[in-house]
Structure formats: structure tokens, C-alpha cells
Structure 1
Amino acid sequence: MNEMTILAFAAVAFIGIATPGPTVLLALTNGSRYGVRRAGYGMIGAVLSDFVLIGAVALGLGALLAASEFWFSVVKWAGAAYLALLGFQLLRSRGTVDIAEGVPSEEGTGTPSSIFAKSFLVAVTNPKGYLFFSAFLPQFIEPALPQAPQYAVLALVFASIDFMVMFGYAMLGSQAMRFLKRSGAIWLDRVCGGALVALAGSLALYRRAAN
């Protein structure tokens, strides 16, 4: 694997990551609700999920989901249900901004472990991630070379880009809360909640490619 291959992978990965998905939306929401520092626990959870997904694909789990309708459906419905749950929680939100200070309120603040778990579980229960990596990663793997080190390099590159993008979204959410009143905070929660519910719906309708 040469530098040009890694750069090509990084460019394509950045485009895919920057397009708002569940973990990016959670980073935005966590940044607006809790600030960037506390949102970092969610970023760590999402990054850990990157390593889990890529490791699973390297071990053949992606191929299993592509071949088995049963296990694909199990992962799909678990992921859709969890996304919908998070989305409806945001839709019911009453806003999290301290109007006097214009900063995130500590009331109802999630614990570091819950913030971490939400981002981690959203990613590892999404079968699209496994199928995406199964189709995407082999294009950058040199078959004649040991594959484990190559997968490790790609995982590090992908996780690094993922963290930087999520950090940017968390910063955006945190800064937005300095200018929004409570009605604006509710609006942001509702938009992100609606997006997560829509993603849950698209995941529920998603079908694996026929073999």
C-alpha cells in the first residue's frame, strides 16, 4: 500500500463521513447540548465503532451479512429501532440552552458513559456500515501483501478523519447554542431528531443486494 492509495482512500472517506449520518448528527446534538468537551465521549464511541466495523469486515462479518438474510435483518432492525428511539427522544426535547447565559444547560446532561454508548451503538448496529466497508475497503488492499497491517492503516486513517469531522460538527453545535434562545435550541433538537427518525426509516426499508 503506497501513499497515493492512502490519500485516495482518505479523500473518498472524507466525502462519505462529511455527509451527515447518525454519528455526525449525534456529534452536532451533543455539542449543542453538552459542549465540545462532553461531546468528545460520543466521538470516542464512534471512533471505537470504526475499528470494530473494519475489524469485523476484515474477519468476514460483512460477507456474512451480505450472504445471510436472517443476520442482516437482525442487525438492520436493531439499528433502525435504536435510531428511531434516539430520534423520538430529540423530537420530544424542550431545549437545553440557558437563556441567560446562552450556553448549554447542565440540566438533564447525559453521563459520559451514556453519550459514549449512544454513538457506539448507533454505528455497530447499522448493517450499512458493514456492507459499505466490505465493498469499499478491498479496493485499497494489495492482495499480494499481508492484509492485517493494511486494514489497520485504513482503520486509523478512517477513524482520524471521522474524529475530525465529528469535532467540527460538535464545535458548530456548541457555537450555535451561544446565539440561539430556547426556541432555537428546540428547533435544532427537532431537526436532528427528525433526521435520525428519517434515517431509521431508510434503514428499515434498506435491503441487501441480491446474490
Structure 2
Amino acid sequence: MTETLLLFAIVAFIGIATPGPTVLLALTNGSRLGVRASVPGMVGAVLSDFLLIGAVALGLGALLAASEFWFSVFKWVGVAYLAYLGLRLLRSTGSLALPSEESGGFAPSRRTVFLRSLLVAVTNPKGYLFFSAFLPQFIVPSEPQWPQYLALAVTFASIDFAVMLGYACAGAQAMKVLRAKGALWLERVCGGALLALAGSLALYRKQA
């Protein structure tokens, strides 16, 4: 199992490090709120990892693969939410740099930061289909499956948290270097990327 987890960790790291919605949120949260205030969003994304993998273990991934209706429900909810977040970033004035007591800046609540990342992940049907296709390759059918799924979930979530932490730190450092004008461009780029991801999800079709 150790060798299997190591191989899984390598493949998972490559997939997670490629910018996706939750990673982009970690980057923007780091730049706008600072690393510490970004942690609830990372926790939300990590919780979504356990929820998605648990759902796949229970067969939800197979249900979405088989049901056009439920696949479409998840897909369009995910598209709408990604587009909403992307448009908010595009419409930002770039003035939402690290809120502080001195500046009197407004920061979203920890609950809001947490829910944004959680909802982005759990409403994306590609995540369920990805785990449904990906995880069984690392499961030994002749052995108890729930302990294996739990080990894979802990491994994936740990890597996910570490990668998001790195992106949040990068965002916070970029804010210090780029200042207000750079913050505007960073938010524009991340907003455009989220809209592009919403578009790609809207065009996504299940494999027959």
C-alpha cells in the first residue's frame, strides 16, 4: 500500500498543482486577505475532497456518469457559481488588498471564505467523474475498500492543502510587490481564469 500511496501522491500533486477553481481561490484569497485569513477556504476545499471521495465510494460518481439529468444539475450549478465568482473579480476595483485595522478595509467572514471553496468543489461534476475514473486504479478489490479510500482521501487532502497554502503565500507576496495596480491585474487574471473554467465546464460533455 505504501508504494501505491506514493504513486497516487505523485499523480495527485501534478493534478492539484495545475490551476483549478479552488487553487485560484486560494491565490486570490492570499492576495486580498492574507495567508491566515485564507485558511478557512483551504479547509473548505479539503472538506470537499473528503466529500467527493466519500461520494464516489458510495457510488455517486457512477450515478452522475449514468444520469444525464443529475449530471446537468451539478454542471450548471457549478457553471453559475464559477461565473459569479469570476465576474465579481473582474468588477473589483483592485482596492481589496489586505484588509487591516488601519485601512478599515472590509474582509469577508471566515464562513464566507470557507463556503466559497467548498461550493466550488462540490458543485463541479468533473470532480466526481475524475475520482470515479482515477481512484479505482489504486484500490485493491480483494482488500477492505473503505480503509483504502480513507488513505487515498487523507493523502489527496494533505497535498491539496499544501498546494493551496503555497498559492496563498504566492498571492500574499505578489500583493506586497505589485501593490494596488498589480492587485487589480491579479484579480482580473484570476477572474478571467474562473470565467474560462466556467465556460469549459459549460461545454463539458460526459464520455459515453
TM-score normalised by length of structure 2: 0.96
Asked whether the equivalents of residues 45 and 120 of structure 1 are also in contact (C-alpha less than 8 Å), the reply is yes
Instruction: Give the corresponding residue for 1:29.
Output: 28
AA of the residue aligned to 1:73: S
| Shift in alpha-carbon separation, 1:77–1:97, aligned structure 2, 3 A | closer
What are the residue-to-residue correspondences of 1:1-211 with 2, within 5 Å?
2-96=1-95, 104-106=98-100, 107-210=105-208
* Aligned counterparts of 1:151 and 1:48: Cα–Cα separation in 2: 15
Deviations 1:109-168 (A, max 9, x none): 111000000000000000000000000000000000000000000000000000000000
Q: CA deviation at 1:35?
A: 0.3
* Aligned counterparts of 1:123 and 1:52: Cα–Cα separation in 2: 10
DSSP-derived class of the 2:106 partner: coil
RMSD of aligned residue pairs (Cα, Å):
0.8
AA of the residue aligned to 1:154: L
DSSP-derived class of the 2:178 partner: coil
Asked whether the equivalents of residues 97 and 177 of structure 1 are also in contact (C-alpha less than 8 Å), the reply is no
| Shift in alpha-carbon separation, 1:71–1:97, aligned structure 2, 3 A | closer
Q: CA deviation at 1:108?
A: 2.6
DSSP-derived class of the 1:178 partner: helix
Gaps of 5+ in 2: none
Q: CA deviation at 1:97?
A: 5.6
AA of the residue aligned to 1:39: S
* Aligned counterparts of 2:199 and 2:96: Cα–Cα separation in 1: 29
Asked whether the equivalents of residues 96 and 106 of structure 2 are also in contact (C-alpha less than 8 Å), the reply is no
TM-score normalised by length of structure 1: 0.95
Q: CA deviation at 1:181?
A: 2.2
* Aligned counterparts of 1:96 and 1:132: Cα–Cα separation in 2: 37
Asked whether the equivalents of residues 36 and 170 of structure 1 are also in contact (C-alpha less than 8 Å), the reply is yes
Asked whether the equivalents of residues 13 and 158 of structure 1 are also in contact (C-alpha less than 8 Å), the reply is yes
* Aligned counterparts of 1:111 and 1:34: Cα–Cα separation in 2: 11
Q: CA deviation at 1:179?
A: 1.2
* Aligned counterparts of 1:26 and 1:181: Cα–Cα separation in 2: 19
Q: CA deviation at 1:33?
A: 0.4
Gaps of 5+ in 1: 99-103
* Aligned counterparts of 2:179 and 2:167: Cα–Cα separation in 1: 19
Moved beyond 3 Å, runs of 4+: none
